[in-house]
Amino acid sequence: MSLIINKPWECPQQHWVDGTGGQLKIKPERRPASYEVFDARTNTKRVHDLDLVNTIRERSDQWRADGWPGVTIVTRKLLEHWYDQEARQHPFYFCQLEAIETLIWWVEGLAAYKQGIFIPGDGGDWQRLCNKMATGAGKTMVMAMVITWQVLNAVTYPKRNKDFSRAVFIVAPGLTVKERLQVLRPSEGSYYDEFNLCPSEALRQKLNQAEILIENWHTLMPLKEVDRSVVKKGRESDEAFTRRVLGNLAAHKDIIVINDEAHHAYRKPPEVKISKKDAAEQGIDLDEATRWIEGLDRIHKTRRIQRCFDLSATPFAPTGKKSTEIALFDWIVSDFGLNDAIEAGLVKTPRVVVRDDAIPDAKTLRSKLYHLYREDSVHQDLNRKAELHEALPKLVQDAYTLLGADWRETRARWQEAGHHSPPVMLTVCNRTETAARIEHYFNRGDAHWPELSAPTRTLRVDSKVLEKAEIGESASSDKDYEARLNAIVGAADIPPTIRNEIRSLKKEDLLREIIDNVGKRGTGGQDLQNVVSVQMLSEGWDAKNVTHIMGLRAFTSQLLCEQVVGRGLRRVSYDTDENGLFLPEYVNVFGVPLSISETAAGGEPPPPPKPTTQIEVVPDRAHLELKWPNVLRVETVVKPELAIDWNKIQPLVLDPASTPISAELAPALGGATDMGKVTAIDLEELPDGFRLQRLVFQAARKAFAELSHGFNGTHEYLAAQLVRIVEAFMKSDRLEIPSLFHAEPLRRRILIALNIDRVVQHVLSNVTEQNTQRLTPVYDEESPIGTTGLMRTWYTTKPCFPTTKSHISHLVGDSAWEGHAANVFEKRDDVLAYAKNDHLGFKVFYMWAGSRRRYAPDFLVLLANGMTLLLEIKGTDSPQNRAKHATLDEWVAAMNMTGGFGLWAWDVAFNPNEVEDIVTKHATTPQHTIRHSLMN
């Protein structure tokens, strides 16, 4: 039985509740916003409802149903576009839409929908709004939505500076997260383009006016005073602090702040007394929390923080009462917790130990493997400074033997499935000595399963080194640890150039490079299978191949359990079943007393994820590169144009007998000539003076003088047309010379030159002026040309076909039709190159149902006759598809009229057998046929 019962892009319609006999049953309504407090020592659990969030849900639901009253025109366009499931390849999750919609409701909604609602603050002078979203629910996308909403409104309505701002300060908890958040800069390849966040290109261009700063919280730390300095500068002023931290952003006021992993940033009330030890047990750094908020306070004093948006899966702060008590932020306005994420399939389903065949815990009757650290034998042993070689407690070894057996089975299934990276076992320890003992246990072969004795596949994360890496400082020297890191990279099956580049890093950067890329192909962490960490790994660690977790530390709150298990919740694939639900994936957990989990005994083992294929540009195939113009729109321009009907024009006959091309001269005196001294003037001896192009321009100049006063268009356009018409006439059979002798090219040109006025008058007598429509493409100024060479490397679990005639390594088969089309392209000699339009970014914009949509034809095919064919596979006839094809026809015509990108054509295959015929039809079309049709 799967716990996934809701579709991720729809509002949850049901949820699981405890039934009789320890079984779960479905309740046919959305789960109320709440959180659980679970005391592992007394085995008790209580649920606290989030009354404010539940009230806001009701109000915002009604507000949505009423059509979002009060929002600006820009905001309405954004909401309509974001809810349009056909505007992008993958629709947004419901939790993402609800999160951004709730923020918009509070800022822009009419007062009637907010009557009686008060959102508490944190005690400071600036407002905070928090979206509580489970790990894997897409918080980064919500940040991109917040920026899009704020910046576009700020640019459009500059006087509403209390509601909107284009100055955005994003604060991250460490370098790992900071680097991941670079996709929030509105540059090429950002989230705004990848997920089509702007409903029009005009708004997308406006988004480039955003001023975005992304920094670690560490930049909010005050400067350290230099004790030995001769000049005592004193404490850094608030203004100096703001200029240093914000840089270019310091030029703005009323900025907005986005706190990622915002549970690190809270204001400690003066009445709360909590020790650093108690805070550490709850995974909290008091110094970090205090400095983070103090730094933002100083910025508010000098620049004003208009509003702060917090995002976190676990937005809580310690209360200072009991170690099991926690307090969620009072300013949470939306909630999509781990339960909701599991039921929607956004994350893996955690599976915890419900029983074993040994004697259970006397107090709780649970398996001792459920919360290992609580057992006296384990707790006492792991809290002493033991030597590396000392054996681990027996219960811990038994747990590793059991968990290792399942990991071993999983590894075998993954290898059989062809997966490139192994499944990962993650251990979270209580202290550095424990982590070192566990590393020794595996590397020295003390573990029961020999597959787990793999030093170059086992990484112990040195917390001190990692902490230095996160703040960009150098760690103290530890040659042995650095050697182990280099050995891991050296043993990884990666290209030598990448290996050498990684090994040249400093120790702290080397560790972060490995740990940030666990399971990612082509990196130093590619082949890791065992990661041992103290406390928790940093936020942003999102290794998708974590399948087993061992907890060997105290767990004093359910949210702490969520944080640890959250390191293994990232899904590998997003395949759906016949009902549109995500297929379940699992992470097996020992020692973490998580109450949110699949607890039923038995069941199928966690299925291996489908093996991924790396889709990349093949550098050796540069000759197969395809290029295209990035067109924002095609404009129809009406221009006056000269027209001539070549079928009606009468021939112009030039009589050589009446046109002398040579003459003889002799001296004359008194009427007599000396014929013995005759000299000749022969125009044939002066060929340079009668070149065709010179004659064409001479005739066009004379014609221009005749027509320029009465032509409605520009003179430049008139001159260009006259040159084209005169040249065509001189080369045509409408200019006759009834003499084979004088039809020789040079004599012909001489005759034309001597009769140039007749030629001009004859042409002008047959020319008429008429208005014509021309299609003019408007190019993307930021990126006018697209190319297959710019495609970023990506991965897929779908079936793939290796290519030989494509710049891209594989064709991803979304259907059997596409595989058939690839076979056709590969075997035909008249196909020079092709590429499936997948992650390439080639698109044509069209209008449908009053909004601007994007259409991406399936294939680009370069034919031997120089034509590029845009081919759609599996076409269907519908009003919307007809609108797409009409726009594509206009796009192709504009490209062929404009020139500069070669010749283009488009077609649609409605069944597989048509692919061969379509390629044949276009491959045998002569280029001059297309040009002639465009001219007429």
- Rounded CA-CA distance 627/629 in Å is 7
Look at residue 797 and tell me whether its pLDDT is greater than 80: no
- Rounded CA-CA distance 908/707 in Å is 46
What residues have CB less than 8 Å from 218, skipping those under 6 apart?
Answer: 470, 471, 472
Average pLDDT over residues 458-487: 75
Q: Which amino acid is at 73?
A: I
pLDDT at 162: 93
Look at residue 680 and tell me whether its pLDDT is greater than 80: no
- Rounded CA-CA distance 85/780 in Å is 25
- Rounded CA-CA distance 481/464 in Å is 12
- Rounded CA-CA distance 715/451 in Å is 81
Instruction: Considering only residues 472 and 28, tell me which one the structure prediction assigns the higher pLDDT.
Output: 28
Q: 403 to each of 352, 425, 587, 589, 750, how far by Cα in Å? A: 11, 9, 11, 8, 97
Look at residue 327 and tell me whether its pLDDT is greater than 80: no
Average pLDDT over residues 792-808: 85
pLDDT at 318: 64
pLDDT at 154: 96
Q: Could you write out the DSSP letters of every residue in 414-458?
A: HHHHT-SS--EEEEEESSHHHHHHHHHHHHTT-SSSGGG--GGGE
Task: Tell me the angle at which helices 745-754 and 692-707 cross, rounded to the nearest 10 degrees.
Answer: 20
Average pLDDT over residues 689-717: 74
168: left (phi over 0), alpha (psi -120 to 50) or beta: beta
Most confident of 98-107, 373-382, 721-730, 922-931: 98-107
Q: How confident is the model at residue 777 (pLDDT cuts 50, 70, 90)?
A: confident
- Rounded CA-CA distance 898/896 in Å is 6
Three-class secondary structure of residue 223 per DSSP: coil
Look at residue 892 and tell me whether its pLDDT is greater than 70: yes
Q: 643 to each of 295, 735, 802, how far by Cα in Å? A: 72, 18, 52
Q: Could you write out the DSSP letters of every residue in 842-861?
A: --EEEEETTEEEEE--SEEE
String of b and e for 303-332 (b: at least 16 CB within 10 Å)? bbbbbbbbbbbbbbbbebeebbebebbbbb
The token pair that represents 204 in the structure block: 């997308």
- Rounded CA-CA distance 360/339 in Å is 27
Instruction: Tokens 């914009």: give the residue.
Output: 845
Please give the model's pTM, rounded to 2 decimal places: 0.71
Closest CA to 136 of 556, 607, 543: 543
Q: How confident is the model at residue 602 (pLDDT cuts 50, 70, 90)?
A: very low
Q: How many Cβ atoms from other residues are within 10 Å of residue 847's Cβ?
A: 11
Q: How confident is the model at residue 601 (pLDDT cuts 50, 70, 90)?
A: very low
Q: Could you write out the DSSP letters of every residue in 629-645?
A: E-EEEEEEEEEEEEEE-
Task: Tell me the angle at which helices 745-754 and 756-764 cross, rounded to the nearest 10 degrees.
Answer: 80
Residue 854, Cβ density class (10 Å: 0-12 exposed, 13-18 middle, ≥19 buried): middle
Average pLDDT over residues 551-577: 81
What residues have CB less than 8 Å from 200, skipping those under 6 apart?
Answer: 77, 852
Count, residues in the chain: 936
Q: How confident is the model at residue 215 (pLDDT cuts 50, 70, 90)?
A: very high
Task: Tell me the angle at which helices 73-83 and 94-108 cross, rounded to the nearest 10 degrees.
Answer: 170
- Rounded CA-CA distance 843/88 in Å is 12
- Rounded CA-CA distance 733/417 in Å is 71
- Rounded CA-CA distance 76/88 in Å is 18
The token pair that represents 908 in the structure block: 């649609």
pLDDT at 225: 58
Average pLDDT over residues 532-544: 71
Instruction: Tokens 């989990």: give the residue.
Output: 597
Output helix, strand, coil percentages for the chain, rounded to the nearest 5.
40, 20, 40
- Rounded CA-CA distance 464/905 in Å is 61
Provide the mean pLDDT of the chain. 82
Three-class secondary structure of residue 336 per DSSP: strand
Residue 549, Cβ density class (10 Å: 0-12 exposed, 13-18 middle, ≥19 buried): buried
Average pLDDT over residues 173-179: 84
pLDDT (tens digit per residue) in 65-92: 999 999 999 999 999 999 988 777 788 9
- Rounded CA-CA distance 513/522 in Å is 12
Q: How confident is the model at residue 321 (pLDDT cuts 50, 70, 90)?
A: low
User: Contact, 258 vs 311, CB < 8 A?
Assistant: yes
What residues have CB less than 8 Å from 710, skipping those under 6 apart?
Answer: none
Least confident of 558-572, 708-722, 757-771: 708-722
Q: What is the CA angle 393-396-402, rounded to 5?
A: 145
- Rounded CA-CA distance 746/683 in Å is 9
- Rounded CA-CA distance 482/909 in Å is 58
Look at residue 214 and tell me whether its pLDDT is greater than 90: yes
First to last CA, the chain: 67
pLDDT at 935: 46
Look at residue 191 and tell me whether its pLDDT is greater than 60: yes
Q: How confident is the model at residue 603 (pLDDT cuts 50, 70, 90)?
A: very low
Instruction: Tokens 């990035």: give the residue.
Output: 630
The token pair that represents 368 in the structure block: 């001792």
Look at residue 595 and tell me whether its pLDDT is greater than 80: no
Closest CA to 867 of 788, 924, 808, 917: 924
pLDDT at 728: 82
- Rounded CA-CA distance 322/370 in Å is 22
pLDDT at 676: 66
Q: Could you write out the DSSP letters of every residue in 871-911?
A: EEES----HHHHHHHHHHHHHHHHHHHH-SS-EEEEEEESS
The token pair that represents 338 in the structure block: 């781990």
Q: What is the CA angle 427-432-434, rounded to 5?
A: 60
Closest CA to 178 of 219, 128, 222: 219
User: Contact, 176 vs 219, CB < 8 A?
Assistant: no
Most confident of 38-47, 238-247, 843-852: 238-247
What residues have CB less than 8 Å from 202, skipping those under 6 apart?
Answer: none
pLDDT at 470: 61
Look at residue 97 and tell me whether its pLDDT is greater than 90: yes
Q: Phi, psi at residue 722, to the nearest 5°?
A: -65, -40
Instruction: Considering only residues 149 and 768, tell me which one the structure prediction assigns the higher pLDDT.
Output: 149
- Rounded CA-CA distance 475/509 in Å is 10
pLDDT at 934: 46
Average pLDDT over residues 465-481: 67
Residue 622, Cβ density class (10 Å: 0-12 exposed, 13-18 middle, ≥19 buried): exposed
Handedness of CA 301, 305, 311, 316 (dihedral sign): positive
What residues have CB less than 8 Å from 172, skipping those under 6 apart?
Answer: 178, 181, 214, 215, 216, 217, 260, 261, 540
Average pLDDT over residues 660-665: 67
- Rounded CA-CA distance 900/632 in Å is 17
Q: 180 to each of 183, 214, 220, 540, 879, how far by Cα in Å? A: 7, 10, 20, 8, 41
